[in-house]
Chain A
Amino acid sequence: MSAKDHFIIIGNGPAGNNAAEVLRENDKKARISIISTESFSFYYRHRLKDFISGRIPAEDLVVKHYSEYKDKNIRLRLGQFVEKIDPEKKILYLKHMEKINYTKLIIATGGSPRILPSLTIFQDYLTMFSTYSDTVGLRHRIEKAKEIVVLGGDLTSFSFVKSLVKACKKVSFLLFNDAFWPISLTSEMILKIEENLKSHNVATFFNDSVEMIKKSKSKYTIETKQNNKIKSDIIISLMGMIPNIRFILGSSIDTDRGVLVDAYLRTNFKDIYAAGDCAQIYNPILKNYWVSIGWMNAEEQGKIAALNLLGDSKIIEPPKEEIFEYEGIKVNTSWWKKF
């Protein structure tokens, strides 16, 4: 590779950072840029719940400081949005009206909060979070709140409730087991979760759903289908993630729920790769696409994408024992059992 090469990674999570590290280790001359919509440097996303509930300061979120990128001659562009890609001309168009040329590209944009279709009409009343910037104002609101309702549809919701309880909040939990992400909960699992939450004085609503949400001044009232009325200062909705690929649509890069890539993490365009939560990976043995979630999977994929970008031919192997079926797609998780 030469100094004229410009490798760009879109996304500053574990996949993007691992990719950048591997690229720099193997190519000292190329220009390497990371573009991230987030204004905060690389951080532990799974610690956000503890930050929001006031249990840890922002410094404890940081994985890598801005200066560390400079030290490795990696240009980190924070708070910048890629609006579209021209894969033919190899140009990225940024929202702030800058165009950037690349020679090779890795898409590692992760996911953003999913909202259930049944809750869309109440969207203005719901608070979701998946990034640091989502949490900055929320931390203050949580601090002031006494009663909090969590609409739980993913594994993060359980651990978030625990953080709130430790912060002495009065918590109500509505479980959305039919739409749970990324796995289907068994009745045995549900019972265990309910038992666990109740032991922490959490009010649980497990076979119920939202009928109406009303707001009066700064207080919300959730009316459920089983005629329960739950008061709340904030309603947090945690329903899993959907891949961040909207900016790719219309670019001729193949997508489904995520960016479609082969086992080498290559897209249908030469020199464009995808890794992490935003990628949908084809497995010739399964004869299907699968997605993965979780930090370690993302790191591994970032590394593989970078090596292949540099000319290697590594295949990403899904660990079969941790694959689940979700809406017809195979899902690989490697972290959820820790909760």
Chain B
Amino acid sequence: MSNTDIVLEICGSAGEGTISSGEIFNRYISSIDFEIMSFDTYPSEIRGFGKCVAHSRFSTQKIFTPGKYTDILIALNDAHSISQLGHLKDTGVVIYDSKPPKYHEEDKSIVGWMEPGMISYGIPFNDLAQKAAGNSRGRNMVALGAVCALFGVDHEEFKNTIIQRYAKKKQIVIDNNVNSFVEGYNWANDNLTKIDSISFKKGKNKNEKESIIINGNQAVAKAAIDSELHLYAGYPITPATKIMEILSHELPKKNGIMLQTEDEISAIGNVLGAGFAGKRSMTATSGPGFALMTEFMGLSVMAQIPAVIVNSQRGGPSTGLPTKTEQSDFNAAVNGGTGDLPRFVIAPASVEECYDGTTLAFYLAEKYQTLVVILLDFFLSNSIRNIDEPTPPTEKMLNSNIAPNEKELKDYVRFKETKTGVSPRSIPGTPNGMYTTTGLENNERGKPQYDGKLHTKMSDMRYRKLNSALNDVPKPKWTGPKKDIDVGILSWGSSAGAAYEAATIANKNGHRVAVLSSLVVFPVNEVDLTKFCNESKQILIPELNYSGQYANFIASYINRPVERLNMVSGLPMASEDVLSKIDEMIAS
């Protein structure tokens, strides 16, 4: 049976139910065992002023990107949707409101801009919603009803998904949504003749496996709860705010604390305070907030206090592009701060890795008594997947602090030199485990001391922890051929999905393309990196920043030229982008 791979977009104004209708559609399609990858974009402005797009890809095969070109575009708002036609496939379908309350002005109608081959279905969203509920709020549900009729989606099952979605609302809200949906479904069945070939009927049977629909931010929050997070301190900022929102109601259930601070400096200060007290703590921010945290990042390293910072990157610099995606905080994450500042940097490539990366972050922070930065980005934070229920952290991961033993507590030396660089850490309140610590360079007992010999020794110890940890973190993931590689792609973060898909297609086309991506991007696993590069005739590094931050960083390790693919369009990288670069490299 051939695969089904459909990209659907719902485009409307803020407040029109664009994102919620996308969410409902995702939820149902997930239940019939399609792979889902979804990405919502929305404005920072308030209702009525901005464009929202719920973009979803549904496939019967494994997918890693949200898909660049759309098969079905639902235009809840014509004027906003016109620009979406730019990536509608040549034979794509547009579903639009055929009876808006008044005529569109010239060039403000989506149908006016359609090109030959594209197919349009006009449905009177407004009239049908009015008929169903007495107001036009259910236009989005009318559209979903029409989609189910046109593309072979079981409308009875779908109705249940709507009911579940609004289960906490008043009955009238549920009824209005369901009735609007049914109106759309019936009208499309009675009035439209299908002339496209798109169908969801090829979905596998009902999904019996335990799976959840979750985005990157939700995965991080879930992982934090599962990792026994005690304190979250933060200041809201797009695109990380959702993490805070979730934890604000989930943490108290676990006797944890969510603290909204006056700014990001205070947030990281609170995180260090809790960390010093032996409680797992974290904050989440974006570029501008991360910049404010750099001084305390130094304290985390110097005082050897566990701290987890999530930086969900957006377009920068400065306040930049709050609702656009970018991978341009790599330099800040790896090098940000003053002095020699060893830290771990984790860059998940997928929603699954958002979960795994976060549980790993708490483990590493606690065990190695240092700072861990998790680099998400706008796309990953909002990227929705249906994934298997993730594996919660093991007992070992939940209790990773290396505490002093009884013998050590008899004469406790907080920063005692060890082979691994990790000194046993007593939690305040531990009998005989008292110690002092500051941001000043200190001797093994924590007493400030500035002589060069000691600073060298302590610096070496702090860095030694990273080397020791290399055997404690997942090895880089190497996919594709292991030898005679035409193009070896070194990928990081959310761009890795595009690299996997592009490599798969290139290999089907007879090339030899491999991908190496690492969940932990700093410290670098040089053994695997060197081996990979030695097997690759050419190296490609795709990333969503202008200057090639990862490429510049990695060049010092591999000491050879690399090809770069840098994009700062604000959109996630697509497999087509990487594939076209691969083709260009192989042809040259």
Interface residues of A (CB under 8 A from B): 39-41, 66, 77-80, 93-94, 96-101
Inter-chain CA distance A70–B324, complex, in Å, is 32
In contact, B106 and A66 (Cβ under 8 angstroms):
no
Interface residues of B (CB under 8 A from A): 96, 98-100, 102-109, 111-112, 114-117, 120, 122
Q: Which residues of A contact B122 (CB under 8 A)?
A: 96
Task: Decide: A77 near B112, CB < 8 A? Known: A99-B104, A101-B106.
Answer: yes
Inter-chain CA distance A93–B106, complex, in Å, is 10
Inter-chain CA distance A39–B119, complex, in Å, is 9
Inter-chain CA distance A172–B386, complex, in Å, is 59
In contact, A99 and B116 (Cβ under 8 angstroms):
no
Inter-chain CA distance A101–B114, complex, in Å, is 19
In contact, A96 and B109 (Cβ under 8 angstroms):
yes
Residue from B104, B115, B116 in contact with A98 in the complex, judged by beta carbons closer than 8 Å? B104
Q: Which residues of A contact B98 (CB under 8 A)?
A: 96-97
Q: Which residues of A contact B117 (CB under 8 A)?
A: 39
Task: Name the CB-closest residue of A to B122.
Answer: A96
In contact, B96 and A96 (Cβ under 8 angstroms):
yes
In contact, A99 and B114 (Cβ under 8 angstroms):
no
**7 tightest A-B CB contacts, nearest first:** A98-B109, A96-B111, A99-B103, A98-B104, A100-B106, A66-B116, A98-B112
Minimum Cβ distance to chain B for residue A32 (Å): 14
In contact, B112 and A80 (Cβ under 8 angstroms):
yes
Q: Is the interface of B mostly helix, strand, loop or mixed?
A: loop
Minimum Cβ distance to chain B for residue A9 (Å): 16
Inter-chain CA distance A19–B106, complex, in Å, is 22
Task: Decide: A93 near B116, CB < 8 A? Known: A98-B108, A98-B109.
Answer: no
Inter-chain CA distance A78–B118, complex, in Å, is 10
Q: Which residues of B contact A101 (CB under 8 A)?
A: 106
Inter-chain CA distance A20–B279, complex, in Å, is 76
Q: Which residues of B contact A98 (CB under 8 A)?
A: 103-109, 111-112
Minimum Cβ distance to chain A for residue B75 (Å): 11
In contact, B106 and A99 (Cβ under 8 angstroms):
yes
Inter-chain CA distance A98–B97, complex, in Å, is 12
Inter-chain CA distance A332–B184, complex, in Å, is 49
In contact, A97 and B116 (Cβ under 8 angstroms):
no
Q: Which residues of A contact B100 (CB under 8 A)?
A: 97
In contact, A99 and B105 (Cβ under 8 angstroms):
yes
A41-B116, A99-B106 known, 18 other contacts, Cβ within 8 Å: A39-B116, A39-B117, A78-B114, A78-B115, A78-B116, A79-B111, A79-B114, A79-B116, A79-B120, A80-B111, A93-B103, A96-B122, A97-B100, A97-B103, A98-B103, A98-B107, A98-B112, A99-B104
Inter-chain CA distance A96–B106, complex, in Å, is 11
25 of the cross-chain contacts (CB-CB < 8 Å) are A39-B117, A41-B116, A66-B116, A78-B115, A78-B116, A79-B111, A79-B114, A79-B116, A79-B120, A80-B111, A80-B112, A96-B96, A96-B111, A96-B112, A96-B120, A97-B98, A97-B100, A97-B103, A97-B104, A98-B105, A98-B109, A98-B111, A99-B104, A99-B106, A101-B106
In contact, A66 and B111 (Cβ under 8 angstroms):
no
Q: Which residues of B contact A41 (CB under 8 A)?
A: 116
Inter-chain CA distance A99–B111, complex, in Å, is 12
Minimum Cβ distance to chain B for residue A81 (Å): 10
Q: Which residues of B contact A77 (CB under 8 A)?
A: 112
Inter-chain CA distance A100–B103, complex, in Å, is 10
Inter-chain CA distance A40–B115, complex, in Å, is 10
Q: Which residues of A contact B120 (CB under 8 A)?
A: 79, 96
Inter-chain CA distance A66–B100, complex, in Å, is 29
Inter-chain CA distance A100–B122, complex, in Å, is 19
Q: Which residues of A contact B104 (CB under 8 A)?
A: 97-99
Minimum Cβ distance to chain B for residue A68 (Å): 12
Q: Which residues of B contact A39 (CB under 8 A)?
A: 116-117
Task: Name the CB-closest residue of A to B97.
Answer: A97
Minimum Cβ distance to chain B for residue A17 (Å): 15
Task: Decide: A94 near B109, CB < 8 A? Known: A99-B103, A99-B104.
Answer: yes
Inter-chain CA distance A64–B141, complex, in Å, is 41
Quick one: which of B100, B115, B122 has the most chain A CB within 10 A? B115
Q: Which residues of B contact A66 (CB under 8 A)?
A: 115-116
Quick one: which of B102, B107, B114, B122 has the most chain A CB within 10 A? B114
In contact, A97 and B106 (Cβ under 8 angstroms):
no
Q: Which residues of A contact B116 (CB under 8 A)?
A: 39-41, 66, 78-79
Q: Which residues of B contact A100 (CB under 8 A)?
A: 106
Inter-chain CA distance A96–B117, complex, in Å, is 17
